[in-house]
Amino acid sequence: MHSDQPIGARDALRVEDDGPVRTLTINDPPRNRMSMAFMDALEEEVGRIASDPRVRAVVIRGAGTEHFSVGMDLKELPDGIKRMGGPEPLFDQRLRVLHAIEHLEKPVVAVLAGYCLGGGLELPLACHFRLAAEEDARIGLPEMDLGGVPGWGGSARLTRLVGPAHALDMILRVKFVSGPEALRIGLVHEVWPVGELFDRAHDLAQQLASQPAGAVAGMLRCIVDAHERTLEENLALERRELLASFGTPDQIEGYRAFLEKRMPQFNR
């Protein structure tokens, strides 16, 4: 792996490439707080990823193996509000960054271990895949204990994923769930022992990166906001993506590989 992140941002966000997979690491171990510098660096990096055809999948993780993130660095809140010109612009940035991640036309895999709290859950909720540690994960939105509510889209995305009953249970009771419980309620896709978790996430990202990039982007466009459209609108969008993919080099390669009984080689 190699890093191409500018030195000025590397303190907060570490960026590494392994072929078509880019790994973004919250670099504040062990708790991996999401500082102002981290959010600035993440916003810039997501923009770079969106326009870089060499990147076909993304992994987001915390430094080390103890914790994904405890969320926003609350000690920075007063200075952050002053710097941004009020609380609304500060939280607008976080909503903007998570929206950009959710709407990347490249799959994003979040790796949840240890504390995944507040923004440390809201960021994974905006990702397309979530893998969690089998042991020691504590996943939740504790804002109610701070006298407030989730501020980065947590209630909306959590409800969409697990339904209102589980979302109310987690948010109003400040209930933290384990990796296996998160899997049971549909919050994560897979659970692995922490010793295997990060390799499994990277393997998943490599698998996703090996799929035809144009077709992957088309399916992300179809699925991510499907809940906001009618069935007829979703069917029409799927048809447009089908026609857009038909006759492309990857579609032809997939067809030939099927006939020749071999594995396809996409993205050439």
Q: Are residues 153 and 226 in the same domain?
A: no
Reference 125, options 186, 203, 36; nearest CA is 186
Q: 267 in a domain, yes or no?
A: no
Q: Are residues 111 and 86 in the same domain?
A: yes
Q: Are residues 57 and 34 in the same domain?
A: yes
User: Could you list the pLDDT tens digit for every one of the 268 residues in the chain?
Assistant: 444 443 344 589 999 999 999 999 999 999 999 999 999 999 999 999 999 999 999 999 999 999 999 999 888 888 888 888 888 988 899 999 999 999 999 999 999 999 999 999 999 999 999 999 999 999 999 999 999 999 999 999 999 999 999 999 999 999 999 999 999 999 999 999 999 999 999 999 999 999 999 999 999 999 999 999 999 999 999 999 999 999 999 999 999 999 999 999 999 9
d(CA 66, CA 219): 33
d(CA 45, CA 15): 9
**Residues that are catalytic:** 122, 143
Q: Are residues 230 and 133 in the same domain?
A: no
Q: Are residues 147 and 36 in the same domain?
A: yes
Residues of the domain holding 159: 7-209
Q: Are residues 230 and 170 in the same domain?
A: no
Q: 2 in a domain, yes or no?
A: no
Residue-wise pLDDT tens digits, 243-261: 999 999 999 999 999 999 9
Residue-wise pLDDT tens digits, 198-239: 999 999 999 999 999 999 999 999 999 999 999 999 999 999
Beta strand 21-26 pairing with 13-18: antiparallel
Q: Are 21 and 49 in contact (CB under 8 A)?
A: no
Reference 212, options 246, 261, 262, 237; nearest CA is 246
Q: Are residues 115 and 132 in the same domain?
A: yes
Q: Are residues 241 and 254 in the same domain?
A: yes
Q: Are residues 198 and 86 in the same domain?
A: yes
Q: Are residues 140 and 38 in the same domain?
A: yes
φ/ψ of 171, rounded to 5, equals -80, -50
For CA atoms 35, 41, 46, 47, give the dihedral sign.
positive
Q: Are residues 123 and 100 in the same domain?
A: yes
| Range list of β-strands (E), 90-143 | 108-112, 115-117, 129-133, 138-140
Q: Are residues 193 and 253 in the same domain?
A: no
Q: Tell me the whole-structure pTM to 2 decimals.
A: 0.93
